Amino acid sequence: MKQQSVVVNGKNNNLMVKGLIIGGIIGGALSLLDSQTRKKVKSSAVGLKDSSVEMISQVRENPGEVKEQMIQRFKSASNSLKDAIAEAQDLYEMVNKEVFGKMNNVKSITSDTMDAAREATEEIKGITSKVAEAGQKLTGSAPVQSSSNRLDSSSDTAYNTTVSQESKEQMRLPSGRLN
């Protein structure tokens, strides 16, 4: 929102401030049309008047004591505020250290876990293809192309071994299946 200012006789009169003051006066006047609001305003004004009169009489009778009381109140409030600020800073530091520090550790652990899972998946694929190849070699069935190795029907180059027909016969069980 852009503030508009008018310069009159070398003075900067802020239209926003004027509008707020005028709006406050109009709103206050309209609220006094209600009888309940008038009663509350009257009782608040009477209470404020009574406490002001009491304070003024105390200041007249013993200004030094009132001054000391006010100084003690301000010091007490100041100390309480300092304590609250120190506790808020401690809480902020604890949250940064404990929560956000551990979040970084969790991110790191999660990343490491995901990397390990990817590696394990790749290794399982390799193992699966080797098991399939071994099964094909044992059964003598046609080779199947795997994701990592391709076998030729004439040689077993994946393991640099040759399985003879005689060896295959010796591995057969009585039921005709390979051992």
For the chain, what is the domain count?
1
In-domain check, residue 155: no
Question: What confidence score (pLDDT) does residue 133 get?
Answer: 86
Average pLDDT over residues 99-122: 86
By the 8 A CB rule, do 151 and 158 touch? yes
Q: What is the mean pLDDT of residues 1-11?
A: 50
Specify the pLDDT at position 162: 47
| Residue 28 forms part of a structural domain | yes
153 is a domain residue: no
Where residue 4 falls among pLDDT bands split at 50, 70, 90? low
- Range of 53's domain? 1-61
pLDDT for 38-80, tens place per residue? 888 889 988 988 888 888 888 889 888 888 988 999 999 999 9
Residue 21 lies in a domain: yes
Three-state DSSP string of the chain: CCCCEEEECCEEEEHHHHHHHHHHHHHHHHHCCCHHHHHHHHHHHHHHHHHHHHHHHHHHHCHHHHHHHHHHHHHHHHHHHHHHHHHHHHHHHHHHHHHHHHHHHHHHHHHHHHHHHHHHHHHHHHHHHHHHHHHHHHHCCCCCCCCCCCCCCCCCCCCCCCCCHHHHHHHECCCCCEC
Residue 97 maps to a domain = no
pLDDT score of 155 more than 80: no
pTM listed for this prediction: 0.33
Is 16 inside a domain boundary? yes
In a domain, residue 13? The reply is: yes
**pLDDT surpassing 80 at residue 143:** no
- Whether 78 is covered by a domain: the verdict is no
